[in-house]
Structure 1
Amino acid sequence: KHWSNLQPEVQNQVEICVHPPYAFLDRVRQGLVADIAVGPQNIYDSSFPNTGNTGATTAKMMTSLNMEWVLLGHSDRRNSLGETDELIAEKASMVLAEEGLNICLTIGETGEQRTNDETLTILEKQLGAVAGVVPGADAWSRVALAYEPVWAVGEGAIPCAPEEAQRVHTFLREWIRTHVSEDAAQACRLTYTGSVNEDNAAGYAALSEVDGFVIGRAGLDAAKLCDIAETLVKAKRIA
């Protein structure tokens, strides 16, 4: 109901996707208006080398459920479950092979990597792995890149300063421009994720290289999520 109460200009300009656990995907899809997309937090395909079929949740399955986006590369899966850049790239390839299915790719550095001044090196490695499987400049319109400074995530964490987020996003856009093409750089959406909430969203939304957000804790509250959507529209002056 919160989404339905927003001004039409906001509804028309902001694209929202929610990523619930697998078990609730269909239930959430049935309970939301068609304007709001739904997608899984991960996929795992049975065609990966040395794996069986048991428990595999594939990109093709997600297409059959009318999912639109797949979240890949979240720091929990990279740092806690040991997912490699190569594995994430393989998943990305399988998602992009499905018509109508898009990727929200999360990349970011840990606190230790930041302290060691490795941020841009880590980001280049993570982005480069997936860039190699995106089939042409047009396909970059199906990729939303989410910068997640891992050290800024979680209860009590200190959010990334907006100027630092802008510096990183500028680097990412320029990397795509240099290593892929200008068209790809413009087509790819750069989003920020890292303790974004209704209080700090305006500072990030005002940045020229931030196209949107991946929202964690604040996104569990529909009213707060809609407030952030309004903030984004006002900052971009597209309403």
Structure 2
Amino acid sequence: MSKTILIVEDEVEIARFLQQLLEKEGFTCIHYRDGVQALRFFPEHQPDLIILDLGLPGMDGLEVCTRIRKQATATDPYILMLTAKGEEIDRVIGLSTGADDYLVKPFSPVELVARVRALLRRSLRQAEPSQIYRTRHFTVDVDRHTAQQHPQPHATDELDLTTLEFALLATFMSGQGRVWSRSQLIEKVWGDDFFGDERVVDTHIARLRKKIEADPTHPVFVKTVTGLGYKFEDEDRP
């Protein structure tokens, strides 16, 4: 079945180029020139991936990305952010908006297609199937793709995690106490076809912390190990 890609780009020539390039690769493409329109019709299209320009007029790409991630939809699309200048990369990486990857203009057609295909393959790069991890405060069922937090006895909260957040939590829980470097997390969660800056890992960890930590600035579960990476700590379930 053809994957659907939503292109949000105000420069008509670039949008036309993207659409022609991706349709030749077998994708179904939909184009909107501004973020307001894209947000209005996004639930209707349920795309598998969104190519989102950072420098949109009016509502910029970061705001569009943030609002898309807040919407409850049947699909959880990957988002590839397009930036015009190198210095804008820090804005994409530094803010926990939910972008999965970024690409700086001008870009080569080969690299764009490779990034798109790599993102769409990520749903296959999760922890081993038919696996359930349990600690005192969490249960993650990889096969059912469910994650629960147990804040207190006889109370359970279903966690609303993106695909990458889920994969990160499952990876952490598969080796409690283990220190994971950025490169090790990329290899485990993103796979060999990862493109981009390793700091993207920090963005997704920050987003995961916001969903599972009482105080994300002082995490008790996903901890930073200075100079090494991250580790997950929680008591074993009694």
Tell me the TM-score range normalised by the shorter chain.
Answer: 0.3 to 0.5
The TM-score, its normalising length taken from structure 1, stands at: 0.33
TM-score (norm 2): 0.34
Greater share of residues in helix:
1
Structure holding more strand per residue:
2
